[in-house]
Amino acid sequence: MSHEPQKLAYWRWLVGHKPLQLAAFLYISKKKLKRSLSLIVACFSFLQLFSQNDTIVTKDILYAQSGDKKLLLDIYKPKRSSNPYLIVWVHGGAWRSGSKANPPLGLLAFGYALASLDFHLSEEAPYPSMVHDIKAAIRYLRANAKKYGYRADKIVIWGSSSGGHLAALVGTTNNDKFMEGTLGDYTSTSSSIQGIIDFYGPANLLTILSQSTPHGISVREPAMKLLFGKPVEEVKETARQASPVFQTDPSDPPLLIVHGDQDNQVPVNQSIELMTAYRKNKLPVQIEFVSGAGHGGDVYNNPPMMALVNEFLKKKVFKE
**pTM for this one?**
0.86
Q: Which fold has domain 54-317?
A: Rossmann fold (3.40.50)
- Average pLDDT on 169-194 reads 97
Q: For residue 126, give the amino acid letter.
A: P
Torsion of Cα atoms, 292 then 297 then 301 then 305, to 10°: 0
Q: How far apart are CA 20 and CA 261, in angstroms?
A: 36
pLDDT at residue 320, rounded to an integer: 77
Whether the Cβ atoms of residue 261 and residue 220 lie closer than 8 Å to each other: no
Q: Give the start-to-end residue ranges of the domains of the chain.
A: 54-317
For residue 240, what pLDDT band results from cuts at 50, 70 and 90?
very high
Q: Checking DSSP bridges between strand 69-78 and strand 285-290, what pairing results, if any?
A: unpaired
Instruction: Answer yes or no: is pLDDT of 25 > 60.
Output: no
User: Rounded to a whole number, what is the distance in angstroms from the first to the last CA of the chain?
Assistant: 23
Instruction: Answer yes or no: is pLDDT of 22 > 50.
Output: no
- Average pLDDT on 24-43 reads 47
Q: How far apart are CA 280 and CA 116, in angstroms?
A: 32
Whether the Cβ atoms of residue 88 and residue 152 lie closer than 8 Å to each other: no
Give the model confidence (pLDDT) of 119-145 as tens digits: 999 999 999 999 999 999 999 999 999
